[in-house]
Amino acid sequence: MKILVTGGGGFLGQALCRGLVERGHQVLAFNRSHYPELQAMGVGQIRGDLADAQAVLHAVAGVDAVFHNGAKAGAWGSYDSYHQANVVGTDNVLAACRVHGINRLVYTSTPSVTHRATHPVEGLGADEVPYGEDFQAPYAATKAIAEQRVLAANDASLATVALRPRLIWGPGDQQLVPRLAERARQGRLRLVGDGNNKVDTTYIDNAALAHFLAFDALAPGAACAGKAYFISNGEPLPMRELVNKLLAAVGAPSVDKAISFKTAYRIGAVCERLWPLLRLRGEPPLTRFLAEQLCTPHWYSMEPARRDFGYVPQVSIEEGLRRLKASSAA
């Protein structure tokens, strides 16, 4: 089968491409840049922007299914930049699927679409948690709009499913753990609150596996069609323990200092005002959205994903940490 993966050059995107090739599929990746890693896998590459409807239409031509994983992520940037990539881009993918008669679309979403300040989510499935409101971050706001459009597009000719993997990590990650480690080594890393809030994470192989299983089960009228699913390792850990396990795996110092949520929230608000005012480069160290995320329990039930498409995590956190440590030492 010929499959298009949008955002194929990213951390999860490369894992999706690799796994699909291993499963015998012909894989194309739609990215803004060229990736030698994808070339080495035998993945065809089409360069373009998701906000360019014609480019997306061209990329989807001739494929049998689409994994729409491409997005603008992060906690900082203009609303419009997120809207173009995440909402307009998703609209373009859906329209291209219609034009070319694609009948299966797997969409990579995020648990952040249910973010509600410091309201905890503990052990629930996606159908038990409403979409968030008053998002403090354009990423979460635009992903929520896009996910709802993907699910609304599900019908007798196009089956869609949305997966919400929580905090993906593992060898090859260029974002989550490297950033934590850099701040820890500089002595700038702090916990928000007491660090006892339990959180879910997802080892990279499990995140990719969930996509493959959902894809295999997906068809018009299937149990998973038109639905969203939280995806994680199903092993929630206190934030303090999780962060220090990840830091230890990459040889970075542990973090024990903490600041209160109120302090973190105030710092985030100040940063959000100062960064555009002073035209500072890069992302601020803290935002109000990040402060809320860092101190709130977020862990989910994997039962709906197990029931509807057989998702059972294959790599435990302990095994994942062992692999991360081995790759860091290499």
Residue 24 lies in a domain: yes
Q: Residue range 180-201: average pLDDT? A: 93
Residue 165 lies in a domain: yes
Residue 25 lies in a domain: yes
What pLDDT, in 10s, does the model give residues 54-92? 999 999 999 999 999 999 987 777 899 999 999 999 999
Q: How many CA atoms lie within 13 A of 295 on its CB side?
A: 21
Q: What is the domain-level CATH number for residue 101?
A: 3.40.50.720
Q: Which residues are designated catalytic? A: 139
Q: Give the residue numbers spanning the domain of 218.
A: 2-173+202-233+299-315
Two structure tokens written together for 28: 């194309």
Residue 116 lies in a domain: yes
Residue 255 lies in a domain: no
Residue 260 lies in a domain: no
State the average pLDDT for the chain.
94
Q: Which residues pair with 247 in a beta bridge?
A: none
Please, which contacts does 322-325 make with residues 24 or more away whose CB atoms are closer than 8 Å? Answer: 323/170, 323/171, 324/169, 324/170, 324/171, 324/177, 324/246, 324/249, 324/250, 325/248, 325/249, 325/250
Q: Residue range 40-45: average pLDDT? A: 96
pLDDT of residue 90: 98
Among 153-167, 232-246, 270-284, 312-326, the least confident range: 270-284
pLDDT of residue 27: 98
User: For residue 111, is pLDDT > 90?
Assistant: yes
* 3: helix, strand or coil: strand
Query: Can you tell me which residue has the tokens 């435990």?
Result: 316
pTM of the predicted structure, to 2 decimals: 0.95
pLDDT of residue 203: 98
229, 304 in Cβ contact below 8 A?
Answer: yes
Query: Can you tell me which residue has the tokens 């997802």?
Result: 202
DSSP one-letter code for 131: P
User: For residue 327, is pLDDT > 80?
Assistant: yes
DSSP one-letter code for 297: -
Number of domains in the chain: 1
- Helices (H) and strands (E) in the chain — how many of each? 13, 15
Query: Can you tell me which residue has the tokens 């998701």?
Result: 50
146, 160 in Cβ contact below 8 A?
Answer: no
User: For residue 118, is pLDDT > 90?
Assistant: no
pLDDT of residue 271: 84
DSSP one-letter code for 85: I
Sequence-distant (6+) residues with CB within 8 A of 274 are: 280, 284
Residue 275 lies in a domain: no
Residue 146 lies in a domain: yes
pLDDT of residue 148: 98
Instruction: Give the percent of the chain with pLDDT over 90.
Output: 82
